[in-house]
Chains A and B, each alone.
Chain A
Amino acid sequence: MTVQIYSSMRSENAWSLALRRLWRDPVGRISLGVVVFYLVLVGLVLMGWLGTHWNDPVAVNYAPPTWYATAANRVTLPAEEAWDRTQVIPLYGWTDPLEPIWSEARAAAQRIQPEPVSYRLTLPLGADKWGRDVGQKVLKGTQTSVWVGLVAAFVATFIGTVLGALAGYYGRGVDDLLNGFYGVLTSIPYLLLVFAVAAVFQQKGVGTLILILGLTGWTGVFRLVRAEYLKHRTREYVLAAGALGASHGRRVWVHILPNVSHVVLVQFSQNLVGFIKSEVILSFLGFGVPVSSVSWGSMLNEAQNELILGKWWQLVVTTVAMAIFVTALSLLTDALRDALDPRLNS
């Protein structure tokens, strides 16, 4: 009987209250919508339903962006002439050491009948230097950047929360040790630290990028979570839990953590914004994703050369995609902080 009641009547908890407050705030509602839209896009790209053809040359070089494409919007380039090497270079009696390879290549070239390729003259969002669709690229790039940001923010928040909780709750030696570590890490200029970690990994890739950002970005979370734990560990509800026989671990993770989770969440979203921008900066500087991949940063890196030639569209598309997401995320972070602030409970 009681157990039935226990499961059927759920009262409104702090999280659903906060969500309701977030929803009441128009800025929160809109920014949440935008962020969810991006996350859905990222999910679709990850599943392979969108943006899979970003690396295919589908248009002529630097095809300009147009929204009304006519049927004649294609050019069929003649098939490239079959590669033939009739000309014989005089070898003055020597045999060509590459002759077996050449003959193999010739045979292969004859087997392939190059078909005429049709290229688009314009694309809705234009094409890059190699005729790749900027629309496809930006989808894939969004996925890379947001994914890197999300995972790195998760790693950083996790490290920061665990260390901050331990430092703040246990204090004394643990706190001194972790604070010293924090002090050393934050005394190194950020970009220098990032480059140093990148140099250690000696490998370009999404995984490396995540590790770099995650391992260097936890300090802010650490500081705030530590402060919250310092404040909460002497609160009466924690003392009461101790008097009731709850272990230290239980007090740290079961009792206090839910009460500081709003700080963690806000830090997570702030880190997300910061890491997405860091990814862009790193890729722009050449420390980011490899050429086999595309991200907002690598697109902006390409765009700087294109801009000199007057090809503005890749820059604009990337910037707009990034600006909308980052702005929405920042606004959402603010709205979240307001919604989760226990002092504003009314």
Chain B
Amino acid sequence: MRPQPLLEVRDLEVAFRRTGDSPLVVVRGVDFTVPPCSTVALVGESGSGKSVTALSILRLLPESHAHIHERSRILWEGRNLLEFSSQAMGALRRRSLGMIFQDPQGALNPVFTIGMQLGESVRRAEGIGSARQVRQRSLELLAQVGIANPAARLSAYPHQLSGGQQQRVMIAMAISTHPQLLIADEPTTALDVTVQRQIMTLLRELQRELSMAILFITHDLALVGEIAEEVVVMRQGRVVEQGRCSEVLVAPRHGYTRALLTCRPTLGNLPARLPMIDDQGDLTPARASSGPRSSGPLPVVLEVEGVSKSFVVQGAGWRRSRFQALEPLGFTLQAGRTLGVVGESGSGKSTLARMVAGILVPDTGQIHFPGRGAPGRSGRATQVQMVFQNPFASLNPRFTVAQLLTEPLMLQGVGTGARERVELAVRWLERVGLNERALNRYPHEFSGGQRQRIAIARCLTVNPRVLICDESVSALDVSVQAQVLNLLRDLQDELNLSLLFISHDLAVVRFMADEILVLYAGQVVERGKAEEVYARPRHPYTQQLLKAVPQGIPLSAQGEE
């Protein structure tokens, strides 16, 4: 007989009230159970309702806006949580539930030291008052989550810790209550790959040590295999598939799960085009590689020589110091080729992108665009364009799509009148898979993927020869990411575009790039042909990076290694 589950979610339906409109049902008919001491992963893309589900379990949804259906039940050791008084719920949250969030920086109060914040939750959890005991317990917790030199860290402020350390502190606070269930909402999404690996290992160890259950929420199916025994795949508020990880990840029954697994590029599998999910959740198959692209001598379109950049850092009072963001580096980019730049946060990859795009002026060195006339300020715009990371921030929210797309044409003097420019804009819109109906709409009316398409179309209106993609697909859902990556490949083949493709995601760079530049703390640690770097990384940092990429292998399979 199975033990009584710790948590049972039965027929959960959550609706958001909208003023002057019918309520929007965001979660419907969700059923799953979390057995004690096990890990269940809740997987889905944005809008799938996974976070709302987690917040309903904690009863942290604002009651004025969200309505949980009367028939829904959330059973905690057999008792319905939804009927708890707020005191009982508070006690449960204090004693049995822990939660960690995606953004540890936002979750920690910047004006209090780590010691004060951790101490507060220790005091509440243990009911101990003496400062010495609290300090003792705080030190234990910090040591438990793997923070080196915990005594010094207690008096540090959150901003003095790295993102990974902050997340460790959040975990320490969450486990200070000896929770039976830890809800982890995208705990590693904001972190670098190598740090993500460390946090995942820590969570796994803690789970074993403290014998608690974990409800792990993520958009990344590859990560699920690293930690969970069971997986619940959600899409648009419904559960599409659930079961044991070893079965779901290896032999997914539902098309959407299969799509999620395959439309993300992996290090091993390299099709010319990624498979894509259409609106029905069906999969368009991957297209095989159409043979190696021509590798003869190609004209060079971008030459970067000895470029470096440092920034002034404002210290206390009048003290200022310089921070070297990028050591001198150089590279060339040939027509129609892709140079991938890989690095973690702070490696200087965005600084490089912005210097090539002409947004930042390099301290030393030169950037040439051989072939066309001297690159003046506006001349450069026709040579190189940049697609930014966040399509929600890179399009002016007060401009219509028509204004967004015709502005560069106007600035560069392309086209003779408004009418001709609008027609050109429509051509580009159609090229990126939108149509003229988009013209008079504002960016907020589009989804993230559509916005990124508009941003790409805007860059292409001026016919640049080099397109810089600075983490251009990192903010997108996996399925949308596949569409945008395929679009970039298509456009590259068609227009003979050269790409400077910058990402922290090694698998995505592998899919796109012909050559690779690995940056670490402002220095190039490794460069070379993509196949060679990935197959035989020479520098220890590159090796470490590659090892940290989640492979999507279920735990059971890993154990047999």
Binding site for B on A (CB under 8 A): 2-3, 5-6, 9-14, 24, 235-237, 239-246, 250, 255, 258-259, 342, 345-346
Contact B358–A11 (Cβ < 8 Å): no
Using Cβ atoms and an 8 Å threshold, which residues of chain B touch A241?
396, 407
The one of B18, B359, B407 that contacts A242, using a Cβ cutoff of 8 Å: B359
Contact B423–A2 (Cβ < 8 Å): yes
Question: What are 13 contact pairs spanning A and B, CB under 8 A?
Answer: A5-B440, A6-B440, A9-B437, A9-B439, A24-B20, A235-B393, A239-B386, A239-B394, A240-B458, A243-B358, A245-B462, A246-B411, A342-B397
Contact A13–B398 (Cβ < 8 Å): yes
Using Cβ atoms and an 8 Å threshold, which residues of chain A touch B385?
243-244
Using Cβ atoms and an 8 Å threshold, which residues of chain B touch A245?
377-378, 380-381, 408, 411-412, 462
Using Cβ atoms and an 8 Å threshold, which residues of chain A touch B396?
237, 241, 255, 258-259
| CB closest chain-A residue, reference B413 | A245
Contact A5–B436 (Cβ < 8 Å): yes
With A237-B395, A239-B354, A245-B381 in contact, is A24–B402 under 8 Å at CB? no
Contact-residue size bin, chain B (C-beta under 8 Å from the other chain): 35 or more
> Complex: how many Å from CA A271 to CA B233?
54
Within the complex, the shortest CB–CB distance from A12 to chain B, in Å, comes to 8
Segment of B158-166, B441-449, B522-530 in the binding face = B441-449
Using Cβ atoms and an 8 Å threshold, which residues of chain B touch A24?
19-20
> Complex: how many Å from CA A279 to CA B408?
47
The one of B388, B412, B436 that contacts A236, using a Cβ cutoff of 8 Å: B388
Tell me the residues in window 411-428 of chain B with beta carbons closer than 8 Å to chain A beta carbons: 411-412, 418-419, 422-423, 426
Contact with A along B364-396 (1 / 0, CB 8 A): 000000000000011011001110111001111
Tell me the residues in window 37-84 of chain B with beta carbons closer than 8 Å to chain A beta carbons: none
> Complex: how many Å from CA A255 to CA B444?
16
Does chain A have a CB within 8 A of B432? no
Using Cβ atoms and an 8 Å threshold, which residues of chain A touch B384?
243
The one of A10, A259, A346 that contacts B440, using a Cβ cutoff of 8 Å: A10
With A2-B422, A11-B442, A245-B412 in contact, is A240–B400 under 8 Å at CB? no
Within the complex, the shortest CB–CB distance from A200 to chain B, in Å, comes to 38
| CB closest chain-B residue, reference A250 | B411
Within the complex, the shortest CB–CB distance from B164 to chain A, in Å, comes to 26
Using Cβ atoms and an 8 Å threshold, which residues of chain B touch A9?
437, 439-440
> Complex: how many Å from CA A346 to CA B419?
35
Does chain A have a CB within 8 A of B357? yes
- Taking A2-B426, A3-B419, A3-B422 as known contacts, 14 extra A-B pairs with beta carbons closer than 8 A to each other, sorted by chain A number, are A2-B419, A3-B418, A6-B422, A11-B445, A12-B442, A24-B20, A237-B394, A239-B394, A240-B388, A243-B385, A244-B459, A245-B378, A259-B397, A345-B444
Using Cβ atoms and an 8 Å threshold, which residues of chain B touch A240?
386, 388, 394-395, 455, 458
Contact A5–B381 (Cβ < 8 Å): no
Contact A244–B397 (Cβ < 8 Å): no
| CB closest chain-A residue, reference B388 | A236
Using Cβ atoms and an 8 Å threshold, which residues of chain A touch B407?
241, 244, 246
Contact A236–B398 (Cβ < 8 Å): no
Contact A244–B458 (Cβ < 8 Å): yes
Within the complex, the shortest CB–CB distance from B416 to chain A, in Å, comes to 14
Contact A244–B408 (Cβ < 8 Å): yes
Using Cβ atoms and an 8 Å threshold, which residues of chain A touch B437?
5, 9
Contact A14–B426 (Cβ < 8 Å): no
Within the complex, the shortest CB–CB distance from A29 to chain B, in Å, comes to 14
Within the complex, the shortest CB–CB distance from A258 to chain B, in Å, comes to 4
Using Cβ atoms and an 8 Å threshold, which residues of chain A touch B20?
24
The one of B388, B393, B441 that contacts A11, using a Cβ cutoff of 8 Å: B441
Using Cβ atoms and an 8 Å threshold, which residues of chain B touch A346?
18-19
> Complex: how many Å from CA A345 to CA B444?
10
| CB closest chain-B residue, reference A7 | B440
How many residue pairs at the A-B interface have CB separations less than 8 Å?
98
Interface SS of A by simple majority: helix
With A2-B426, A240-B386, A240-B388 in contact, is A11–B19 under 8 Å at CB? no
> Complex: how many Å from CA A346 to CA B19?
9
Using Cβ atoms and an 8 Å threshold, which residues of chain A touch B19?
24, 346
Using Cβ atoms and an 8 Å threshold, which residues of chain B touch A239?
354, 359, 386, 388, 394
Within the complex, the shortest CB–CB distance from B20 to chain A, in Å, comes to 7
> Complex: how many Å from CA A237 to CA B441?
17
| CB closest chain-B residue, reference A25 | B19
> Complex: how many Å from CA A238 to CA B386?
12
The one of A6, A250, A345 that contacts B439, using a Cβ cutoff of 8 Å: A6
Within the complex, the shortest CB–CB distance from B278 to chain A, in Å, comes to 26
Using Cβ atoms and an 8 Å threshold, which residues of chain A touch B378?
245
Within the complex, the shortest CB–CB distance from B489 to chain A, in Å, comes to 22
> Complex: how many Å from CA A235 to CA B444?
16
> Complex: how many Å from CA A255 to CA B398?
8
> Complex: how many Å from CA A235 to CA B419?
30
Using Cβ atoms and an 8 Å threshold, which residues of chain B touch A2?
419, 422-423, 426, 436, 439
Which of B394, B402, B418 has the largest count of A CB atoms less than 10 A from its CB? Answer: B394
Within the complex, the shortest CB–CB distance from B497 to chain A, in Å, comes to 16
Using Cβ atoms and an 8 Å threshold, which residues of chain A touch B395?
237, 240
> Complex: how many Å from CA A346 to CA B64?
14
Using Cβ atoms and an 8 Å threshold, which residues of chain B touch A342?
397
Using Cβ atoms and an 8 Å threshold, which residues of chain A touch B411?
244-246, 250
Contact with A along B508-521 (1 / 0, CB 8 A): 00000000000000
Within the complex, the shortest CB–CB distance from B471 to chain A, in Å, comes to 11
Instruction: Enumerate the 9 nearest inter-chain pairs by beta-carbon distance, A residue then B residue, closest first.
Output: A245-B381, A258-B398, A236-B394, A245-B378, A244-B408, A236-B393, A11-B441, A236-B388, A245-B411
Using Cβ atoms and an 8 Å threshold, which residues of chain A touch B398?
13-14, 258-259
Using Cβ atoms and an 8 Å threshold, which residues of chain A touch B359?
239, 242-243
> Complex: how many Å from CA A24 to CA B378?
46
Contact with A along B333-355 (1 / 0, CB 8 A): 00000000000000000000010
Contact A243–B441 (Cβ < 8 Å): no
> Complex: how many Å from CA A139 to CA B19?
40
> Complex: how many Å from CA A237 to CA B436?
22
Using Cβ atoms and an 8 Å threshold, which residues of chain A touch B402?
6
Within the complex, the shortest CB–CB distance from A247 to chain B, in Å, comes to 8
With A3-B422, A13-B442 in contact, is A244–B388 under 8 Å at CB? no
> Complex: how many Å from CA A11 to CA B418?
19
> Complex: how many Å from CA A342 to CA B408?
26
> Complex: how many Å from CA A10 to CA B401?
12
> Complex: how many Å from CA A2 to CA B440?
11
Within the complex, the shortest CB–CB distance from B82 to chain A, in Å, comes to 25
> Complex: how many Å from CA A342 to CA B378?
32
> Complex: how many Å from CA A250 to CA B378?
13
Within the complex, the shortest CB–CB distance from B407 to chain A, in Å, comes to 7
Within the complex, the shortest CB–CB distance from A36 to chain B, in Å, comes to 23
Using Cβ atoms and an 8 Å threshold, which residues of chain B touch A14?
397-398, 442
Within the complex, the shortest CB–CB distance from B318 to chain A, in Å, comes to 14
> Complex: how many Å from CA A196 to CA B427?
62
> Complex: how many Å from CA A239 to CA B441?
22
Using Cβ atoms and an 8 Å threshold, which residues of chain A touch B459?
244
Using Cβ atoms and an 8 Å threshold, which residues of chain A touch B388?
236, 239-240
Within the complex, the shortest CB–CB distance from A145 to chain B, in Å, comes to 34
| CB closest chain-A residue, reference B377 | A245
> Complex: how many Å from CA A237 to CA B357?
14
The one of B386, B422, B426 that contacts A243, using a Cβ cutoff of 8 Å: B386
Using Cβ atoms and an 8 Å threshold, which residues of chain A touch B18?
346
> Complex: how many Å from CA A13 to CA B399?
9
With A236-B388, A237-B394 in contact, is A243–B442 under 8 Å at CB? no
> Complex: how many Å from CA A250 to CA B459?
18
> Complex: how many Å from CA A29 to CA B155?
52
The one of A10, A12, A13, A244 that contacts B381, using a Cβ cutoff of 8 Å: A244
Using Cβ atoms and an 8 Å threshold, which residues of chain A touch B436?
2, 5
Within the complex, the shortest CB–CB distance from B280 to chain A, in Å, comes to 27
Within the complex, the shortest CB–CB distance from A167 to chain B, in Å, comes to 18
> Complex: how many Å from CA A3 to CA B444?
23
Using Cβ atoms and an 8 Å threshold, which residues of chain A touch B390?
236
> Complex: how many Å from CA A235 to CA B441?
21
